[in-house]
Amino acid sequence: MYIYFLMPLIGFIGMFSGGYWGVGCGWLIVPTMLIFGFTPNEAVGVGLLQMVPSILMTTVHDIKSLEWNKESVAVKLVIPLGVGAFLLAFSGKIVNKFFYERFGSIALLVIFCIFMVTLGSLVLFGKTTEYETDVPKISNTQSIIAFFIGMVVGVCSSIMGVGGAIFFRPTLANIFKVPEMITAKSIRILLLVTTFTGGMYYTFSDGKPDWTIIIMSLIIAAGGMIGFPLGIKIHNTILANGYGKYVNKSFAIVTLIVLTNTLLNIFGFVVFSRYLMITIAVLLFISINIFKNYTDTHKIKINNNIQ
């Protein structure tokens, strides 16, 4: 029975870092679920679906706070990315089967590792906006590119059981040079789309509802609904203190965590990787709060006029 008290705590810790970077925490929820004997399908389904109630209220606020005119980032980038991801979010099983039959189960893991290395390098070494308040003008061509990127993200999210935000953040911040405040809000909206569609994919994979996934998602979300907005509050405080660039660069930590977990699984250190993810999540929670306290006493003056 202690699992029902522990899982909300896991949800709190995982979604705290999720709120800080605007991403999900499947990298923590899935290994934890597997430790307690749940099936991979249940673990991935819960990892995705628990994010929906955890982020729903925050996302509603984000939708209201963003500009939605025809030239805005929300219309020119967020909508194309979201639509593209939604259209192919249910294709994971088909693609998964294709690679498994032709290349074996290791192929998807290797491809995923390549994705993580690419994303981590893009975040760590790529350029963002020169000034954190610069809002770029998005062309129609860029909107089309965003749509196709969204389709790729939809497939990857469905196959790997990770929220698409891990791909959307570097797309917005590093490729399209969207400022951190707008990036964070946009990602949370996109995260709701990908986690809901992905969660439904696993919950109804057999044509009927999997009540284990639904119930465990709600139990974990009891902690996530507290952790996620708290993570956002810390994120906004650090942003206001002038450290937006560091928040964006630090997202490389998440890609490194996911990459490490995948590599450990490839080389057979499955059990070790699961416990390592829990340890890392706790250390992240502590580190982010320490960094927040540091920025409170070492503020950098910025011209912040983004709403």
**What tokens does 245 get?**
């660039």
Tens-digit pLDDT profile for residues 185-202:
999 998 888 888 778 878
List C-alpha distances in Å: 235 to 150, 165, 240, 265, 293: 25, 16, 9, 31, 12
| pLDDT at position 130 | 47
Cα torsion 39, 12, 158, 169: sign: negative
pLDDT score of 155: 74
Please state at what angle helix 211-240 crosses helix 3-21, rounded to 10 degrees.
Answer: 40
Tens digit of each residue's pLDDT (9 = 90 or more) over 137-190:
899 999 999 999 988 887 776 666 566 778 888 889 888 989 888 998 999 998
Report residue 75: phi and psi, to 5°.
-80, -40
Q: Report the C-alpha gap between 218 and 299 in whole angstroms.
A: 38
| Residue (of 190, 80, 192, 180) closest to 138 by Cα position | 80
Distance CA 14, CA 230 (A): 11
Q: What is the pLDDT of residues 267-300, one digit of tens each?
A: 889 899 999 999 999 999 999 999 999 999 999 8
Distance of CA 253 to the CA centre of its chain: 12
Q: Is 232:17 a contact under the CB 8 Å cutoff?
A: no
Task: Give the separation between CA 150 and CA 129, rounded to whole angstroms.
Answer: 22
Tokens matching residue 284: 């992240």
Structure tokens at 63: 């939708």
106: tokens are 């290791």
Helix, strand, coil % over all residues of the chain, rounded to 5: 75, 0, 25
| Residue partners of 214: CB distance under 8 A and separation at least 6 | 49, 203
